[in-house]
Amino acid sequence: MHFQFTQQLRSLLKASSFWQDNYLLLREFKHFRKIVILALIFSILAATFEGVSIGFLLSFLQSLTSPNAQPVQTGIEWFDNLVLGANTSAINRLYRVSSLILLSTWLRVAFNYFGQVYTELSQLHFGDRLRKQIFEQLQSLSLSYFAKTRSGELINTITTEIERIRQGFSGAAFLITRGITTLVYLISMFLISWQLTVISALLFTLLGVGLSNLNARVRESSFGMTTANANFTSTAIEFINGIRTVHSCGTQEFERQRYYKASDKVVSTTTKVVFTWTLVKPIAEGVATTVLVGMIILAFTSLVSNGTLQVASLLTFFFVLFRFIPFVQDINGTRAFLNTLHGSADNIKNLLKSDDKNYFQNGTLQFKALERAINLVSVDFGYDDKNLVLHNITLTIEKGKMTALVGASGAGKTTLADLIPRFYNATEGNVYIDELDIRLFEINSLRRQIAVVSQDTFIFNTDVWQNIAYGTPQATNEQIQEAAKLANALEFILEMPEGFNTQLGDRGVRLSGGQRQRIAIARALLRNPEILILDEATSALDSVSERLIQDSLEKLSVGRTVIAIAHRLSTIAKADKVVVLEAGRIVEQGKYQELLGRKGKLWEYHQMQYYNS
Ligand SMILES: Nc1ncnc2c1ncn2[C@@H]1O[C@H](COP(=O)(O)OP(=O)(O)OP(=O)(O)O)[C@@H](O)[C@H]1O
């Protein structure tokens, strides 16, 4: 029976459009439903005791105003006799009812406290779950998503928008508890005077309907506010990340205008929202007070004067109504606030929804070791549907050999290399590892055997130990030191104030380009990968750094399958195969000397680099 009811409730809930629209957010509740249930139970108890103390209040006022009148009774005989002392003296009843009011008030306060605590906890867990859900989403998306999305917008979603939705949860919980208390008040008022209650309820419902239009406007304007926030965060992050470029290009004024404009837009869109949503509460207050005054006059002129209502009942009724009015205002104000959150909710839902995104499809085959070769067969690739960056690439990368990729900037060398750790999938054609489609492999087992030493190696804001051991957490300090030594990094690490314990700052700002690259080489050495992708730095290093890096790269390459992207031809003269790319197509491949002999593209590059002609 209970099971059936829950099932029905569940299917009813699932069919509702609110559930469907907000499923991506609401599904998170299942992870902390016990806390939500406790919050609800305590809030209901607090509301109930609010009603109970009001019931006693009527008895209390009557004992004060008309001690000789028939005492207020519940109709439950044992309760009226034992608890309210119906047959005892007026003063005795007053003591009893005072004690009961105090007891129910303290209980209400205690339940209120726990209700609030559990509501806060629910809110906290809701934010936590959403943050983690977004992390899972970001990690499972294909890298192409990040090529299209501004990082500032994502950061805005994870921080600002989640925070707003978290507050929204509080608002919703507040709405529920206020709703329950309102119901208890309505029942109490109904018991005192149903006529006055019906009139009040009608008037307040009319008020709610009247405010709906305003709430719809709040909702509409919230979308603009969310877009402005996302744009501002992106602008701020780009400015901070690009601060060196801003200074060196002297574009402070340009950046100031961009930043100010984004910030002004936040102000103007939020102002629009503020003007509408703050209007709701004062309107509600004004109307409610008018209702109250009207009711008092009505009650005195009709109900009390003709004896339908006692003065004590009227006083209690208005006491309840007085407490009730701020609740109605709160409910309307919170409804308006919740409407300001539609933009934020949409923003999070858009990030979490799956039907418009490409996900990384993992394989199951464990990659153990490369036996023969990696083959690219008729591979086309484009970052978007319109423009292909690689055209019809057919290439064999043999085990244990060095394959060098050469070509002008933008020819597609890095893009081609990125297909090997499967950062991207080929748009057409296939990549095979020992004749098996690369998509069959469990990606981490494959990537564990590949190290990429690139131009933009990321240095984390931790110490040198952790930066070198990134991806190899089991490495011992001796192994890390040995890797640093082989990478020619030991000397400069030991010269830093705290040696291996030095914190490297955001994105490794405390390191020079050459030093950063040697940390990356040490990291790769420690991972001891079978396949190595070297993306040579385009920025010129001084000759000492260059020699040190070249030396450490040579040590790193011994006995591995190497794919080297080279700008300086001197670094690839020893390659087993040189592949020349032009505008995404292979125009030549073969041994270095062989290609020179053909006097083709490589020969042209060779002439340009060595003879500058
Ligand atoms: N994430 C990306 N999104 C869209 N287009 C990209 C992306 N990365 C590179 N491209 C484009 O793909 C083309 C090839 O770029 P790629 O970085 O592979 O060239 P490259 O030969 O390695 O150049 P360089 O020698 O300058 O590093 C370029 O036209 C570039 O604009």
Q: What is the pLDDT of residues 240-261, one digit of tens each?
A: 888 877 887 778 888 899 999 9
Beta bridge partners of 578: 404, 590
The maximal CA–CA distance of the chain, rounded, in angstroms, is 123
- pLDDT bin (cut points 50, 70, 90) of residue 75 is low
Do residues 386 and 406 share a domain?
Answer: yes
pLDDT of amino acid 129: 92
Which mutation among 358, 380, 383, 580 tests ligand 1's pocket best, with the greatest number of atoms within 8 A of CB? 383
One DSSP character per residue, 86-127 reads: TTS-HHHHHHHHHHHHHHHHHHHHHHHHHHHHHHHHHHHHHH
Range with the lowest mean pLDDT among 295-299, 440-444, 517-521, 593-597? 295-299
Range with the lowest mean pLDDT among 143-147, 396-400, 569-573? 569-573
Do residues 182 and 56 share a domain?
Answer: yes
Domain boundary residue among 327, 352, 377? Answer: 352
Give mean pLDDT, residues 267-295.
Answer: 82
Do residues 279 and 413 share a domain?
Answer: no
Higher pLDDT, 372 or 74: 372
Give mean pLDDT, residues 403-425.
Answer: 91
- pLDDT bin (cut points 50, 70, 90) of residue 193 is confident
- pLDDT bin (cut points 50, 70, 90) of residue 2 is low
pLDDT of amino acid 403: 93
Is the predicted pLDDT of residue 72 greater than 80, yes or no?
no
pLDDT of amino acid 139: 87
Task: Give the nearest ligand 1 atom to 417 CA.
Answer: 18
User: Could you give the CA distance from residue 108 to residue 54 in angstroms, rounded to a whole number?
Assistant: 12
Domain boundary residue among 304, 322, 352? Answer: 352
> What's the number of domains the chain is made of?
2
CATH number of the domain residue 608 falls in: 3.40.50.300
Name the closest-CA residue to atom 30, ligand 1.
410
Distance from residue 411's CA to the centre of ligand 1 (Å): 7
Residues with CB under 6 A from ligand 1: 147, 383, 389, 407, 409-415
Is the predicted pLDDT of residue 326 greater than 70, yes or no?
yes
Distance from residue 427's CA to the centre of ligand 1 (Å): 16
> Taking the CA of residue 122 as centre, how many other CA atoms within 13 Å lie in the half-sphere pointing to its CB?
26
Distance from residue 387's CA to the centre of ligand 1 (Å): 12
Give mean pLDDT, residues 488-499.
Answer: 87
Do residues 338 and 400 share a domain?
Answer: no
DSSP-derived secondary structure letter, 302: I
Is the predicted pLDDT of residue 395 greater than 90, yes or no?
yes
Is the predicted pLDDT of residue 5 greater than 60, yes or no?
no
Domain assignment of residue 580, yes or no: yes
pLDDT of amino acid 60: 77
Give the number of residues written for the chain. 613
One DSSP character per residue, 414-470 reads: HHHHHTTTTSS--SEEEEEETTEEGGGB-HHHHHTTEEEE-TT----SSBHHHHHTT
Beta-carbon contacts of residue 257 (< 8 Å; ≥ 6 apart): none
Domain boundary residue among 352, 382, 402? Answer: 352
Distance from residue 496's CA to the centre of ligand 1 (Å): 35
Name the closest-CA residue to atom 28, ligand 1.
410
Task: Give the nearest ligand 1 atom to 405 CA.
Answer: 21
Distance from residue 581's CA to the centre of ligand 1 (Å): 12
Distance from residue 395's CA to the centre of ligand 1 (Å): 19
- pLDDT bin (cut points 50, 70, 90) of residue 15 is low
Name the closest-CA residue to atom 4, ligand 1.
383
User: Could you give the CA distance from residue 231 to residue 225 in angstroms, rounded to a whole number?
Assistant: 10
pLDDT of amino acid 8: 64
Q: In this predicted model, what pLDDT tens digit does every residue of 428-471 receive, in sequence order?
A: 999 999 989 999 999 989 998 998 887 677 888 888 898 899 88
Do residues 399 and 289 share a domain?
Answer: no
Give mean pLDDT, residues 512-521.
Answer: 84
Do residues 217 and 301 share a domain?
Answer: yes
Do residues 369 and 304 share a domain?
Answer: no
Distance from residue 410's CA to the centre of ligand 1 (Å): 5
User: Could you give the CA distance from residue 423 to residue 147 in angstroms, rounded to a whole number?
Assistant: 12
CATH number of the domain residue 323 falls in: 1.20.1560.10
Burial-class residue 531 by CB neighbours within 10 Å (0-12, 13-18, 19+).
buried
Higher pLDDT, 219 or 310: 219
Task: Give the nearest ligand 1 atom to 387 CA.
Answer: 5
Task: Give the nearest ligand 1 atom to 415 CA.
Answer: 18
pLDDT of amino acid 507: 59
Distance from residue 77's CA to the centre of ligand 1 (Å): 87
Domain assignment of residue 202, yes or no: yes
User: Could you give the CA distance from residue 339 to residue 126 in angstroms, rounded to a whole number?
Assistant: 19
Distance from residue 439's CA to the centre of ligand 1 (Å): 23
Find tokens 């006692």 and name the residue: 310
Torsion angles phi and psi, residue 42, rounded to 5: -65, -40
Helix-, strand-, coil-residue percentages of the chain, each rounded to 5: 65, 10, 25
The answer to whether the CB of 486 falls within 8 A of the CB of 549 is no
Neighbours of 380 (CB within 10 A): 15
pLDDT of amino acid 455: 64
Structural domain range at position 583: 363-449+565-613
Domain assignment of residue 251, yes or no: yes
Domain assignment of residue 425, yes or no: yes
Nearest to 59 by CA among 95, 35, 27, 110: 95
Domain assignment of residue 552, yes or no: no
Higher pLDDT, 578 or 15: 578
Higher pLDDT, 609 or 481: 481
The answer to whether the CB of 588 falls within 8 A of the CB of 605 is no
Which mutation among 413, 415, 424, 585 tests ligand 1's pocket best, with the greatest number of atoms within 8 A of CB? 415
Give mean pLDDT, residues 319-335.
Answer: 78
Task: Give the nearest ligand 1 atom to 581 CA.
Answer: 21
Is the predicted pLDDT of residue 539 greater than 60, yes or no?
no
Domain assignment of residue 219, yes or no: yes
Distance from residue 389's CA to the centre of ligand 1 (Å): 8
Do residues 243 and 285 share a domain?
Answer: yes
Range from 86-95, 509-518, 522-531 that averages highest in pLDDT: 522-531
Task: Give the nearest ligand 1 atom to 455 CA.
Answer: 27
Do residues 249 and 101 share a domain?
Answer: yes
User: Could you give the CA distance from residue 154 to residue 237 in angstroms, rounded to a whole number?
Assistant: 11
Q: In this predicted model, what pLDDT tens digit does every residue of 103-143 receive, in sequence order?
A: 988 999 999 999 989 988 988 899 899 999 999 999 888 88
Tokens of 386: 């319109």
Domain assignment of residue 466, yes or no: no
Name the closest-CA residue to atom 25, ligand 1.
409
Is the predicted pLDDT of residue 1 greater than 60, yes or no?
no
pLDDT of amino acid 446: 92
Task: Give the nearest ligand 1 atom to 384 CA.
Answer: 4
Nearest to 285 by CA among 325, 337, 331: 325
Give mean pLDDT, residues 2-21.
Answer: 63
Do residues 316 and 295 share a domain?
Answer: yes
Q: In this predicted model, what pLDDT tens digit does every residue of 347-394 receive, in sequence order?
A: 899 999 888 888 888 889 999 989 999 999 999 999 887 889 999 999
Domain assignment of residue 458, yes or no: no
Q: pLDDT > 70: what percent of the chain?
A: 91
pLDDT of amino acid 316: 77
Do residues 21 and 156 share a domain?
Answer: yes
pLDDT of amino acid 4: 60
Report the mean per-residue pLDDT for the chain. Answer: 83
Higher pLDDT, 410 or 66: 410
Distance from residue 54's CA to the centre of ligand 1 (Å): 73
Do residues 148 and 227 share a domain?
Answer: yes
